[in-house]
Amino acid sequence: MLLRPWGVAQYILKPYRPFVLSLLLFTTVLVGCSTPPVLVRMAQGVRDVIVSIPPALFDMPAPGGTDPGDAPVVNHPRRERIVDPNIEEYKRLAALAAARAKLPPPANWAEMYQRLPKDDDDNIDWMAALSDKTITPSGVVDASAKDVGKTSDDDIELSTSGKPNRMVVFSHAAHTQWLTCTNCHNAIFKREAGDATITMEAIDDGQYCGVCHDKVALAQPSGCKGCHKVKAKKS
């Protein structure tokens, strides 16, 4: 039996004839469309379609409209940047503390004095020295001893008689960084709020706040506003 290759191929491909024919047709059409004149005509057609779409649907100027060109793009923020003064202050103090940590310990007391932050009157601002870690005073002489220091962060409003229109708010937190309860209670102030009648005369006389203030401690900022900070409520 003589096997003719073409005859064998025809015999095998016979059931797939429609598929082979359509593949042939498709290839012919594809090759025909790829010739330059046809491609140019197709591109022209696509352009015609695009131009016919109203320009308002595009984020670009209309064919006859003005082009913004290279003008800088302004990105309007979606919201105002939040600047929290507390966070900014914290960042400032953290940067200061980091800078202090790099400094070698002061060689002598003159250098130490120079490093201590000063207020407007050139007195030492002790609270600033604490907060920027210029100093880290210890609560005990012997490091193994127990620190008796206690903290109470209550703020106490001291009502004013009205004439100086700014009320004093006593901050426990500021004082307990230096003092312990028994320093003030109950010899200078009774534990119950509202017990003492504190006047500027009494303070100048060395009673109440005047035991320390203006002798070894200064409220900041110096002058009246160090303590009389809060605007008194109209009652």
* Residues lying near another protein in the complex (CB under 8 A): 108-114, 116, 123-124, 126, 129, 135, 137-141, 148-149, 177-180, 182-183, 188, 206, 211-212, 215-218
- Of residues 27 and 183, the one with the C-beta less far from another protein: 183
* Min separation Cβ 167 and another protein, Å: 26
* Min separation Cβ 141 and another protein, Å: 6
Q: Are 184 and 83 in contact (CB under 8 A)?
A: no
- Of residues 158 and 211, the one with the C-beta less far from another protein: 211
Spatial distance between the Cα atoms of 79 and 77, rounded to a whole number of angstroms: 5
- Of residues 203 and 212, the one with the C-beta less far from another protein: 212
> Token digits for 18?
């429609």
**What contacts 202, CB < 8 A, 6 or more positions away?**
208, 210
Sole residue written with tokens 């220091």: 149
* Min separation Cβ 208 and another protein, Å: 12
Nearest to 185 by CA among 177, 216, 201, 176: 176
* Min separation Cβ 178 and another protein, Å: 5
